[in-house]
Structures are given as structure tokens and as C-alpha cells.
């Protein structure tokens, strides 16, 4: 039952709304159209359920995969941050030392 688009079936939508209000379809064609619309609606619902189940399965940890608790994640973050800061500071100190050595070498070569 496509509601929007070039193949809209307004009659099926009307039948569906009438059925929701408790009115029975009047003829065989209307009953068949309503059944077809309900089948299409069920297909769309099944596809959405399958998508949700696939997404949930992808989010679950795999068997044997290590997972971290919140505390472990926090501690790992702190250790990683400390290591990155130490590495950055060492890199800056190395640059200063190389600059001082370079200036000293250039001043000796100039004289």
C-alpha cells in the first residue's frame, strides 16, 4: 500500500482508514485491496524488524570479544591522555634541544 508517489492507491488508504474505524469493506474487490494493503504493510514492518535485529546483533559484543566496564574505559582514557601529553612534551623538548644545538653549531661555524 503505497500512500505517496506516482502509484498511490487512494482507495486502499480510504479502505484502511475505514477498517480502522470499524467499518467492513463493502465488496470482494475492496476486501482484496484491503488484504493486499495489509500484506504490504506487514512486509514493510517485517523489513524494519529485520533491520533493527541486524543492527542490535552488530552492536552486541561477539563471543570471546573483550569488553570494558565504564571504570576500565575511564582509566584507559586517563592513561592514554597521560601518554599522549608526555609524548608531546618530549617532542617539544627535543625540538628546543635541536634548536639550541643548531644555533650553537651555526655560531661556531660563523666564527
pLDDT band at 89 (very low <50, low <70, confident <90, very high): very high
This prediction has a pTM of 0.45
**Maximum Cα–Cα distance for the chain, whole Å?**
109
Distance CA 4, CA 39 (A): 17
pLDDT for the residue 13: 77
Residue 82 and residue 101 in one domain: yes
pLDDT for the residue 12: 77
Residue 32 and residue 53 in one domain: yes
pLDDT in tens, 35-88: 887 888 888 899 999 999 999 888 877 777 777 888 998 999 999 999 999 999
Average pLDDT, the chain: 85
Distance CA 70, CA 77 (A): 11
What's the distance, Cα to Cα, between the start and end of the chain in Å? 91
Q: Which of 100, 25, 22, 47 is nearest to 11 (CA)?
A: 25
Residue 56 and residue 11 in one domain: yes
* Structural domain total, the chain: 2
Amino acid at each position: 500500500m503505497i500512500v505517496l508517489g506516482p502509484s498511490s492507491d487512494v482507495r486502499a488508504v480510504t479502505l484502511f482508514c475505514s477498517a480502522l474505524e470499524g467499518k467492513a469493506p463493502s465488496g470482494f474487490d475492496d476486501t482484496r485491496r484491503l488484504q493486499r494493503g495489509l500484506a504490504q504493510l506487514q512486509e514493510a514492518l517485517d523489513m524494519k524488524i529485520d533491520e533493527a535485529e541486524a543492527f542490535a546483533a552488530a552492536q552486541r559484543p561477539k563471543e570471546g570479544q573483550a569488553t570494558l566496564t565504564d571504570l576500565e574505559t575511564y582509566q584507559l582514557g586517563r592513561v592514554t591522555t597521560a601518554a599522549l601529553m608526555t609524548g608531546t612534551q618530549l617532542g617539544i623538548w627535543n625540538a628546543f634541544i635541536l634548536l639550541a644545538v643548531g644555533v650553537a653549531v651555526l655560531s661556531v661555524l660563523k666564527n
